[in-house]
Each structure stands twice: as C-alpha cells, then as structure tokens.
Amino acid sequence: MAPHPAPATGDTSPIFNTFARKPLRFERGEGSRLFTEDGETYLDFAGGIAVMALGHSHPVLVETIKNQAEKLWHVSNLYDIPGQTELGNKLVENTFADKVFFTNSGTEALELAFKTARRLHYANGNPERIDILTFDGAFHGRSLAAIAATGNEKYLEGFGPKVEGFIQLPFGDHEALKEAAARETTAAILIEPVQGEGGIRPVPHQCLRGLRQLCDQHGILLIYDEVQCGVGRTGKFFAHEWASNDAGSAEPDIMAVAKGIGGGFPLGACLATAAAAEGMTPGSHGTTYGGNPLAMAVGNAVIDLVLEEGFLEDVQDKAIWLRQRLAELVDSHSDLLDEVRGEGLLQGLKCKASNLDVVAAFQSEHLLSVPAGDNVVRLLPPLNVELDVLADAVNRMDAALTAMGKA
Ligand SMILES: Cc1ncc(COP(=O)(O)O)c(C=O)c1O
C-alpha cells in the first residue's frame, strides 16, 4: 500500500481528531477515585459523563461481569436471552413502561424512540405525523437523527441536509409550543426532564405535567430523554417522577435511557407503554449487540443495587447536603460563581468566570468535573459517594476558587 501522506495538521495520532482530550491517563479506579499512570489520585465527579452511577470497580459489578464472562457473552437476538426478560421486568415493574428494547448507547435508544413514535402514527393511519418537537439547549446524541433532534448548528454543520421532522422550540416559550403541538404533522414532544449538556437546566415540574396534558389533548406522544438524568441520578429512579403528583401525571409514553443503567458498561434502553409500542411489529427494528448476556448481567446488577431499599433516599439526603455546601460556595465566591442548579446528584455551578477555567482550576486540585452549556460546570459524583468524599470535593472546589480569585 502507498505510504500515507503526512497530514497537513501534523497530527500523527491514529485516532479521529474529534475530541480535545486532556493529557491525563488513568489506569485504575475505585469508588469515587481515579488513579493515573503516574500514581496521582483524582476525585472523579465527571463519572465518565454521568455514567459511573456506582463508582469505579464496584465489587458486585466486578464479580457479576467476571462470572458472566466465564459463561456467555453474546448470542444475538436470534435467541431468547433470559437476562433481557429479567431486566425488562424490573424496568416495567418500576416505571410507566410495559415494553423495553435494549441498545448499546443513548443515541440508539433515542433513535428507536423516534421510530416508535412515527411508526405508531403510521400504523394509526396518520403517516404525515412525523415531526418531533425539541427544545433549544437540548442534547440527544450524535447520529444524523440525533443531531437533528438536538438542533445545534455546531453539531449539524457540514453533514448535509438536516434530517427532516425535527423542530426546535425556544426553552420555555409556551405559546410556540402550543401552536406547534396542534399541527397535523406533529408526532411527539421530546424533552430532557433535566437538560444535561445544555447546562443542568431542570424543567419545572408543572411544565412536565403541562406537556403530558398537551400531548393527550392533541393525540401526540411524550418522549423523555433520561439518558443523563435517569437511573437514580436525581434521587428518584427516573427524574420525571418528581413531577407526577395529585396535580397530575408527568409520565411519558416513551423514554430513552442509557449511561447509569450500565454503570460503565455500554447499555441503553428504549422504554414505552404497550400502546405507544404498538407500531413496532416484527422486523421493524433490530440490533446485533443490544441486550447481549454480558450487558444484561451488568444491567440487572446495577438496577438491583439502585432499587435496594434506602438507596435512592440516601442519594436524596446526600444531594441536599451537597446542594447546601455548593450554595455556600456560590456565596463565598460570588465574583466567580453565579448560582447552583440541578436535582439530586446532577448538580451544576453556573459561572461568572469561564466554566472551562473553573473546570481547569478544579482539576489542578485533583477534582474532575465536566463543562456544560450556558457556562456551567457539572458535578456528577457516583450515587453511592460517601459524605466525607463530598466534603473533600467541596474543600477542593473552595481551594480552587480561592486560588482563581487571587490570580
Ligand atoms: C441527554 C442525553 N441524550 C443522549 C445522549 C447520547 O448518548 P450516547 O452518547 O450514549 O449515545 C447523551 C450523551 O451525553 C445525553 O446526555
């Protein structure tokens, strides 16, 4: 083969140049801590971007994966996979859903959510109903349909025509939403109950109930993207549960889940009511890897731990404690921080200084966090984080912000 020409950029890495990676190399993780090749220790409040729900190397998950690895990894969906039924039943018993399809990622779970919504209208004789309404600041993944749903020009640029049937609305513009929901081409509304990448922006609970009503009124479907905010992250099994009360239901028809459900193993799921899933007949969708025995073993173990008695209450207690400490930090560093926002252990610091500088300052104190939109720093500790680790992290943030203030 002819020698490869030297790239004009001088980039000699074999890896696509799509990520601006930090020069940090981790070789081991344990609970909330990550250890570098050079023997340095970091507190991990990035959690692989809200993935490590139970921290690194959780002994039950390690044992589970070892045991399953010795038995069976993959057979394909040509055969019955008991772990799917087991995990499916757990999800059905503990959510609004009647049906589950397992995927490998959040994007794939959303792709199926879009297909499920469109296909139901098609099966009901309304094939013109293809439009999915989404909101500014949303993030739904990086496939062609997902970037159309996300609607951010930055992700769409250069990839050809935007996939048809995704309409972005301003976050919080009720009139625009009512008008769009009433159109005869509308199939569904898609929303993250707490926007993650968009800057940890929780949707007010009455708005989620309002969306449910609006969807019922117009015969359209409500889809939640709980890829980042689900699986205990907010202190409920799923974030939208906070919004359902005597004033009304906020339950969706379809929901995309990923990240935390695999505790670090690639796993996602699309959940739906039986009525919403009715159009998805044999052959209408598929996956090679989705729901394989290895993924199912891990998913079952994660869900058992998250649904253990007292686990979610513990997340809520720790979240209240963290929230108070973060509010104090905002007060004492009001030159650099604007406000704290979020739900549960999905917390964001809206910055006055550059959020990238704050993330870098935290990193210099060996605390990992993640930037988000709207100049926010995301804090995503494991759900089973110990209180003294939270206290340690707050001290590191305080030290980092103090140093920034002096610089
Ligand atoms: C809310 C939300 N939806 C979808 C996705 C895409 O998930 P994945 O990267 O697993 O495809 C993400 C990923 O960050 C997300 O935060």
Q: Pairing between strand 254-257 and 221-225?
A: parallel
106 lines ligand 1 (CB under 6 A): yes
Can you read off the two tokens belonging to residue 236? 């409920």
pLDDT at residue number 1: 59
Pocket of ligand 1 contains residue 318 by CB under 6 Å: no
Q: 142: CA distance to ligand 1 center in Å? A: 8
Atom index in ligand 1 nearest the CA of residue 268 equals 10
Domains 26-58+310-406 and 72-306 share a fold: no
Q: What is the pLDDT of residue 139?
A: 98
Could you tell me how far CA 98 lies from the centroid of its own chain? 21
Which pLDDT belongs to residue 406?
A: 87
SS3 of 92, please? helix
Q: Which residues of 289-328 are buried (b: 16+ CB within 10 A; e: fewer)?
A: bbbbbbbbbbbbbbbebbeeeebbebbbebbeebbebbee
Reported as type and span, the H/E element at residue 13 is: none
Q: 151: phi > 0 → left, psi -120 to 50 → alpha, else beta; which?
A: left
Q: Is 119 annotated as a binding residue?
A: no
* Number of Cβ within a 10 Å radius of residue 395: 13
Residue 185 in marked binding region: no
Q: Which atom of ligand 1 sits closest to the CA of residue 259? A: 10
Q: Is 270 in the pocket of ligand 1 (CB under 6 A)?
A: no
234 annotated to bind ligand: no
Distance from C-alpha of 338 to C-alpha of 376, rounded to nearest angstrom: 9
* Of 18, 108, 140, 191, best ligand 1 pocket probe by most atoms within 8 Å of the beta carbon: 140
Residues 6+ apart with CB under 8 A from 269: 91, 100, 101, 102, 103, 109, 256, 257, 258, 261
Q: Quick check: CB of 139 below 6 Å from ligand 1? A: yes
Cα–Cα distance measured from residue 225 to residue 213, given in angstroms and rounded to the nearest whole number:
18
Task: Judge residue 225's burial from the number of C-beta atoms within 10 Å of its C-beta, 0-12 exposed, 13-18 middle, 19 or more buried.
Answer: buried
Q: 72-306: which CATH architecture?
A: 3-Layer(aba) Sandwich (3.40)
- Beta strand extents in 25-138 (DSSP E only): 26-30, 33-36, 41-44, 99-103, 131-135
Residue-level length of the chain: 407
The residue whose C-alpha atom lies closest to atom 7 belonging to ligand 1 is 106
Residue of 49, 255, 259 to mutate, ligand 1, most atoms within 8 A of C-beta: 259
Structure tokens, 78: 């040509």
88: helix, coil or strand? helix
* Nearest Cα residue to 216 out of 244, 238, 188, 245: 188
* Nearest residue to 335 via CA among 396, 403, 393: 403
Which residues, 6 or more positions from 34, have their beta carbon under 8 angstroms from its beta carbon?
A: 26, 28, 41, 42, 44, 56, 368
- What's the distance, CA 392 to chain centroid? 26
Ligand 1 in contact with 197 (CB < 6 A)?
A: yes
Spatial separation of the C-alpha atoms in residues 62 and 83, rounded to whole Å = 17
Instruction: Report residue 41: phi and psi, to 5°.
Output: -115, 135
Tens digit of each residue's pLDDT (9 = 90 or more) over 138-182: 999 999 999 999 999 999 999 999 999 999 999 889 999 999 999
Ligand 1 neighbour 228 (Cβ under 6 A): yes
Is there a binding annotation on residue 402? no
Atom of ligand 1 nearest to the CA of 258: 10
The helix/strand/coil state of 380 is: coil
**Is any atom of ligand 1 closer than 6 Å to the C-beta of 105?**
yes
Q: Is 84 in the pocket of ligand 1 (CB under 6 A)?
A: no
Q: Is 226 annotated as a binding residue?
A: yes
**Does 40 appear as a known binding residue?**
no
Instruction: Tell me, in angstroms, the distance from the centre of ligand 1 to residue 106's CA.
Output: 5
Burial group, residue 184, by CB count within 10 angstroms (0-12, 13-18, 19+): exposed
Which ligand 1 atom sits closest to the C-alpha of 143? Answer: 11
Whole-angstrom distance, CA of residue 149 vs CA of residue 140: 6
44 is in an annotated binding site: no
Instruction: Check if the beta carbon of residue 330 is closer than 8 Å to that of residue 306.
Output: no
According to the model, what pLDDT value does residue 234 have?
98
Tokens of 210: 């309002």
- Side chain identity at residue 258, one-letter code: A
Domain 26-58+310-406 fold is Aspartate Aminotransferase, domain 1 (3.90.1150)
pLDDT score of 126 = 98
What are residue 376's DSSP bridge partners? Answer: 350, 372
Question: How does DSSP classify residue 151?
Answer: -
95 lines ligand 1 (CB under 6 A): no
Q: Which atom of ligand 1 is nearest the CA belonging to 105?
A: 10
233 Cβ inside 6 Å of ligand 1: no
| pLDDT digits 0-9 by tens, 389-406 | 999 999 999 999 999 988
Regions in the chain scoring below 70 on pLDDT: 1-8
Domain boundaries defined on the chain: 26-58+310-406, 72-306
